[in-house]
Structure 1
Amino acid sequence: MSPISKTLSVPAGAEVATYAAGCFWGVEHIFRKQFQSKGLIDAKVGYAGGHTTAPTYRQVCGGDTGHAESLQVSFDPKLVSFATLTDFFFRIHDPTTLNYQGPDVGTQYRSAVFYHDDNQRDVAKRVAADVSQRIFQGKPFATVFEPIKDFYDAEEYHQLYLDKNPAGYECPTHYIRGDPNFVSNI
């Protein structure tokens, strides 16, 4: 079984996806706004893709852990597909930049799909190619596709951060590019 957040609700029949798209506060917030009541079951921010066990926010922000600020979601595949979530992921950040989003710089802000199985990897790569052509005029993506090897929940004060702090920092690159109602057919 691939690593899943210790606190993520994953009922029977649900699937899990893990993404990194810069500062995780805005990524969680925009996913919840778009997919609440549309197949999203739960979402947790945390750290994935690094070499440090149980990293802290301070350690990850220092850039030495190898972890990316990430979002892990559980979803009902009968209501929303992994392809649709992944299409949305690519459109809410700038996947063409290497290790930065807006003013946030470092490998902890990289664009990544941490896939949970080979099917997710394959779908994510097909969606990336489609979104690159459709939204980014064919510009190459810097997104990395890695098997999920770890996921550590961020500290509790990071969960639902922008709901608790409506005037809190939100990366200026986190907005929906293209038609917000578009549904991928991949």
Structure 2
Amino acid sequence: MPRLPFLIAGALVLAAAALHFGLTPSAAESARVIPPPTQDDSAAPETSATIVLAGGCFWGVQGVYQHVQGVTSAVSGYAGGAKETASYDKVTSGRTGHAEAVRIVYDPRKVTLGQLLQIYFSAAHDPTQLNRQGPDVGTQYRSTIFPTTERQATLAKAYILQLDQAKAFPAKIVTTIEPAQTFYPAEAYHQDYMTLHPRQPYIVMHDLPKVESLKRLFPTSWRADPVLVSKTGM
């Protein structure tokens, strides 16, 4: 998202426009039904695994995965650039190489990587938008998977190919896969943002509908009580 003062002003304009044209927040953000991956990891004996996903403003991506069964932690942050530039003021320039991202820790016995990726492509963001997501523009808002293992990278590549071949979207998926990148947690005021500010206009227009889409399209994955950074730590 843009810097906060501009973000709030812009979101107020969007909200007013939506009301003027009779749109609801759910109409402003719509998810897409897509097939599950044909290649996936079955229930594994490990109790914990980690993947980092970027799909626009991290407020919304974090908010979605905090409501997914089997996710034990979802932290907003930055990935793709250097430690020295991993701060909000620098990342918003679009010149750091970082993307706003979310580090997701999950229990593979309860949720598979394939299920997490299906939610990512279907409800969490639009993977056909290049270096942007909704009103947010720049490489820091790119659609990117930061795998933490070679197996994750292989499965992600296979799923993207599957979705493109099935023409699951009206345009080609532009999601990149960037392995071996360090994740840096974002500032404390960005954590749990959706839960703490549910009436903020940007959240209402762009992020809460994603959570509603998760609940509607993936009812068996839905958890009502979000797993919050304030409880899990960073």
Indicate the TM-score class for this superposition, using the shorter chain for normalisation: 0.7 to 0.9
Aligned to 1:180: 217
Indicate the structure with greater helix content. 2
Q: Structure 2 matches for 1:15-94, cutoff 5 A?
A: 15-33=49-67, 35=68, 38-53=69-84, 55-91=86-122, 92-94=124-126
Q: Deviations over 1:23-62 (max 9, x none)?
A: 00011111112x1xx2111110000011352521111111
The 3 A distance-change label for structure 1 pair 182 and 147 is farther
Aligned to 2:28: none
Q: What is the alpha-carbon distance in structure 2 between the residues aligned to residue 172 and residue 136 of structure 1?
A: 20
Query: Residues 182 and 87 of structure 1: is their aligned pair in 2 closer, same or farther, counting only changes over 3 Å?
Result: farther
Give the aligned partner of residue 95 of structure 1.
127
- 2:173 pairs with 1:136: no
Task: Give the direction of change, closer, same or farther, for the CA distance of 1:149–1:64 in structure 2 (3 Å limit).
Answer: same
Quick one: which amino acid aligns to residue 57 of structure 2?
C
Secondary structure, counterpart of 1:25 in structure 2:
helix
In structure 1, C-alpha distance between the alignment counterparts of 2:149 and 2:184, rounded to whole Å:
19
Closer, same or farther: CA 143–158 of 1 in aligned 2, 3 Å = same
Displacement of 1:180 in angstroms is 1.2
Q: Which has the higher strand share?
A: 1
In the alignment, the residues of structure 2 paired with residue 106 and residue 58 of structure 1 have an alpha-carbon distance, to the nearest angstrom, of 14
Q: Secondary structure at the match of 1:28?
A: helix
**Structure 1: runs of 5 or more not aligned:** 1-11
CA contact (8 A) 1:87 1:131 kept: no
User: Match for 1:181: what amino acid?
Assistant: F
Bigger Rg over Cα: 2
| Alignment pair present for 1:119 and 2:151 | yes
Corresponding residue for residue 179 of structure 2: 147
Task: Name the CA distance, whole Å, in 2 between partners of 1:42 and 1:156.
Answer: 15
Tell me, yes or no, if the aligned pair for 1:16 and 1:75 is still in contact at 8 Å.
yes
Measured in 2, the distance between the counterparts of 1:147 and 1:17 equals: 10
- Structure 2's unaligned 5+ residue stretches are 1-45, 221-234
Shift of 1:76: 0.3
TM-score computed with the length of structure 2 as normaliser: 0.66
* Counterpart in the other structure of 1:9: none
- Which of 178, 181, 191 matches 1:159? 191
For residue 95 of structure 1, give the secondary structure of its aligned residue in structure 2. Answer: coil
Alpha-carbon displacement from aligned partner over 1:152-185 (angstroms, at most 9, x marks no partner): 10000101011111122236386348x71288xx
Secondary structure (helix, strand or coil) at the match of 1:20 reads: strand
Task: Report how many residues are paired.
Answer: 167
Q: Distance in 1 between matches of 2:114 and 2:190?
A: 27
**Does structure 1 retain, via aligned residues, the 8 Å contact 2:50–2:104?**
yes
